[in-house]
Amino acid sequence: MSQPPDRPAASAIVDALRRAGCVFAEDEAALLLGAATSDADLAAKVAQRVAGLPLEQVVGWAEFCGLRVAVEPGVFVPRWRSQLLVAQAVGVTRARAVVVDLCCGTGALGVAVAAAVPDIELYASDIDPAAVRCARRNVEPFGRVFLGDLFAALPSALRGRIDVLLVNTPYVPTQEIPLLPPEARLYEPAVALDGGADGLDVQRRVAAEAAAWLAPGGHLLVEVSERQASISAGIFSLAGLKVVVAQDEQLGATVVVARSG
């Protein structure tokens, strides 16, 4: 910036964010100040955040599993609770494993696993072109990103070879979409949120093909809400996979872990 904003300017930003309902106004103000490249850019970023744009889309990145993940406008923002899925995945991933991040969004899940486990073969895909464009910024140092619908996006050579399949499908029931916070409801794509009548429609589609794509002993990990866990576990059990459910109360996270053969 031409001149760093002074203390009164910072205070004014905090006040504006508080009036907009930002609970962590001081922390957000510091991030906005750090991300701005000029006074005009700072003013624009503050206006975007006050209007309700997710902070991560405004500053252009999200902190996830100790990494800075690029986040572009209109792309699903990685959630802290998804750290449980990453932790569970890291626990079953070995060097040189084939790892696929399906419904990848920014690609944060796959990148976090790649950062934790050396020398994996990483692939990611999403049906949303904006997500794929963003994911390539994050994933391409580690692997490849494809555009398309679920398994149809992947190279056929991966069929029967996937050791670890990360799947953060949309799992919000359609009737609950209007109840989401405005940040998600207005600024994240519906295709990344809406999971159908009970929130599990996409999981059913994944389960129908998963066994054919997993390697023997391969693992599939999918995030769900606590109340959906038993139904989700049943979906993957009926698909011939061995299932356990992992939960973390502190993160408010539930993950179904399924294993082939």
Each residue of 103-140: pLDDT tens digit? 999 999 999 999 999 899 999 999 999 999 999 999 99
SS3 for 158-198, per residue?
A: HCCCEEEEEECCCCECHHHHHHCCHHHHHHCCHHHCECCCC
pLDDT classification of 10: cutoffs 50, 70, 90? confident
At 137-194, the pLDDT tens digits run 999 999 999 999 999 999 999 999 999 999 999 999 999 999 999 999 999 999 999 9
Q: Is 122 left (phi over 0), alpha (psi -120 to 50) or beta?
A: beta
User: What's the pLDDT at 133?
Assistant: 98
Between these two residues, 144 and 10, which has the higher pLDDT value? 144
CA 136-140-144 angle, 5° bins:
85
pLDDT classification of 8: cutoffs 50, 70, 90? very low
pTM recorded for the entire structure: 0.91
pLDDT at 29 over 60: yes
- The answer to whether residues 239 and 211 touch, using CB atoms and an 8 Å cutoff, is yes
DSSP state of 76: P
Q: Mean of the per-residue pLDDT values for the chain?
A: 94
At 78-101, the pLDDT tens digits run 999 999 999 999 999 999 999 999
The HSE-up count of residue 220 (CA atoms within 13 Å, CB side) is: 34
pLDDT at 261 over 90: no
Sheet holding 214-224, edge to edge: 143-147, 121-126, 98-102, 162-167, 214-224, 253-259, 242-248
